[in-house]
Structure 1
Amino acid sequence: MNLRTLRAFVEVVRQGGFSQAADVVALTQSTVSKAVKTLEDELGTPLLNRLGHKNELTAAGEIAYRRALVLLAEHNDLVAEINDLRGLKRGVLRIGLPPVGCGVLFAAMFAAYRTRYPNIDIELTEYGSKRLRECLEAGEVDLAALLLPADEGFDYQPVRNEPLMAVLPMSHPLARRKRIDFTDLADSPFILFEAGFALNAKILAACERKGVTPRVTARSGQIDFIVDLVSAGLGVAFLPRMLAHKHQHPGIALILLDEPHTDWHIALVWRASAHLPPAARAWLDLAKEMASPV
């Protein structure tokens, strides 16, 4: 069993197939397939149920996948700690950011970081919250920007806390309200982000608390497109206040969402057991220095 084999197996699970995994790990599909077969032979049990083009983890596969993430993370921690010991003149900042809000929050930080640390390479990964957590667990990124609360086993440094705004078309009968809640919007179709975005979970959980079953009419990962759909009258959407104001235009109304436990509270998160390299610690220090008052 070696790390290359484990990496191939993990990516087959993540990507949902051998060909997709091959693209990620820069190997041929047959090599990835052989790697998974080798791992199954070593463990003496099938790890995947191969159903046509679909692959599902067996019970043993679930255990192997979970353990593989830990082993890969430990390897990355080892490399980072040894590099610190060597006192490398160059470093790497490996950071994961979600597509929603990262430009508004972090663009100025990237510019300041590059000016302050010109010899640090920046490896930026952009995914939804669920995938970013997996990247953290596997040690593929040192830090990730995620919504609080953080999962057990993670430490965090808060970055920004913003209330949500309901984004309504100007033609909506409630468009002139100052505040609004999910009971008011029970009959309005919702436009949400794509699956894997943590903001969806906050919205749906708040609806459940109010006894509201939302009718989702569209999903997208692009804020501009979501706002355009709202303006066209397709439904209502929900954005953190700073992002809502950035995308304001005459076709929409922005109303403060009067719902507890729905704030967009974003933080920089890392594994509590991880060795944070100097490049990551420098990013945390800069984030604290540049933090804006809420």
Structure 2
Amino acid sequence: MNLRTLRAFVEVVRQGGFSQAAEVVSLTQSTVSKAVKTLEEELGMPLLNRLGHRNELTAAGEMTYRHALALLAEHANLVAEIHDLRGLKRGVLRIGLPPVGCGLLFANMFAIYRSRYPDIEIELTEYGSKKLRECLQAGEVDLAALLLPVDEGFDYQPVRNEPLIAVLPVSHPLALRKRIDFTDLADSPFILFEAGFALNAKILAACERKGVTPKVTARSGQIDFIVDLVAAGLGVAFLPRMLAHKHQHAGIALVHLDEPQTDWHIALAWRSSAHLPPAARAWLDLAAQQQLSAGHPL
């Protein structure tokens, strides 16, 4: 058993197939397949049930996946500490960001960071919240932008807290209201983000608290497309205030959502047990400086 084999197995699980995993680990599909087979032979049990084009974890696979994540994380931690011990000058910033809102929050920070630390390499990983948490747990990134609350075992530094805004077509009967909640929208179809986006869970949990069962008419990972669908009258959507204002146009109405437990509270998270490299600590320091200078609520 070696780390390369474990990494291949983890990516097959995470990416949902051998060909997708091969692209991530920069190996051929046959090499990835052999790596998983070797791991199964070494452990003496099948780890995956091959169901057509799908692969499902067996009980042994579930156990192996959990331990593989832990071993990969420990290896990443060891490498980071050794680099510090050697006084590594260049360094690598390994950061994971979700697609929603991070352009507005972090694009300018990347420019400032690059000007301050031109020799530090930046490795950017972009996934939804679920995959980002897994990447963080596996030590594949040192920092990840996640919605609060974060999982046990993570520490975090708050970045921005934004209320959600309901995005309605201008023709909607409630478009002129100043504030609405989910009971007001019980009969309106919802347009949500794709599966894996943490914002969906906040919205659906708030609906459940109000006894509302929303009809989801569409999902997308693209904010522009979601806003266009709203403008076309397909349903209502929900965006953090800063994003709603950025995408405002004549075809939509923005109404404050009176649901306080749905706030989009984003933070930079890291593993509590991990050694945080200097490159990551410098990013956290810059994030704190930027938020203080901008006067944004944390």
For the aligned pair, the TM-score class normalised by the smaller chain equals over 0.9
Q: For the Cα contact (< 8 Å) 2:155–2:272, is it kept in 1? A: yes
Task: Tell me the distance in 2 between the aligned counterparts of 1:276 and 1:149.
Answer: 20
Kindly report structure 1 stretches of 4+ aligned residues shifted beyond 2 Å. none
Which residue number corresponds to residue 135 of structure 2?
135
TM-score, normalised on structure 2? 0.97
Instruction: Write the mapping of 1:133-282 to structure 2, written as runs, cut at 5 A.
Output: 133-282=133-282
Aligned-pair CA distance for 1:166: 0.2
Task: Tell me the distance in 2 between the aligned counterparts of 1:288 and 1:272.
Answer: 19
Task: Tell me the distance in 1 between the aligned counterparts of 2:211 and 2:282.
Answer: 45
Task: Tell me the distance in 1 between the aligned counterparts of 2:98 and 2:28.
Answer: 29
Unaligned runs of 5+ in 1: none
Partner-residue secondary structure (3-state), 2:219: strand
Superposition RMSD in Å: 0.7
Q: Are 1:122 and 2:150 matched, yes or no?
A: no
Q: Are 1:284 and 2:284 matched, yes or no?
A: yes
User: What is the percentage of aligned positions where both structures have the same residue?
Assistant: 87
Q: What is the aligned length?
A: 294
The one-letter code of the counterpart of 2:83 is: N
Aligned-pair CA distance for 1:217: 0.6
Which residue number corresponds to residue 24 of structure 1?
24
Task: Tell me the distance in 1 between the aligned counterparts of 2:180 and 2:33.
Answer: 53
Which residue number corresponds to residue 67 of structure 1?
67
Task: Tell me the distance in 1 between the aligned counterparts of 2:272 and 2:85.
Answer: 20
Task: Tell me the distance in 1 between the aligned counterparts of 2:197 and 2:259.
Answer: 19
Task: Tell me the distance in 1 between the aligned counterparts of 2:33 and 2:253.
Answer: 52
Aligned-pair CA distance for 1:260: 2.6
1:39-74 Cα shifts (integer Å, max 9, x gaps): 111111111111122111000100000000000011
TM-score, normalised on structure 1? 0.99
The one-letter code of the counterpart of 1:6 is: L
Task: Tell me the distance in 2 between the aligned counterparts of 1:234 and 1:52.
Answer: 35
Unaligned runs of 5+ in 2: none
Task: Tell me the distance in 2 between the aligned counterparts of 1:124 and 1:155.
Answer: 20
Partner-residue secondary structure (3-state), 1:152: coil
1:101-136 Cα shifts (integer Å, max 9, x gaps): 001101111111111111111111111000000100
Partner-residue secondary structure (3-state), 2:229: helix
Which residue number corresponds to residue 11 of structure 1?
11
Task: Tell me the distance in 2 between the aligned counterparts of 1:52 and 1:162.
Answer: 43
Task: Tell me the distance in 2 between the aligned counterparts of 1:159 and 1:53.
Answer: 40
Which residue number corresponds to residue 105 of structure 1?
105
Q: For the Cα contact (< 8 Å) 2:166–2:257, is it kept in 1? A: yes
Task: Tell me the distance in 2 between the aligned counterparts of 1:220 and 1:54.
Answer: 23
Task: Tell me the distance in 1 between the aligned counterparts of 2:27 and 2:117.
Answer: 34
The one-letter code of the counterpart of 1:30 is: S
Task: Tell me the distance in 2 between the aligned counterparts of 1:136 and 1:204.
Answer: 25
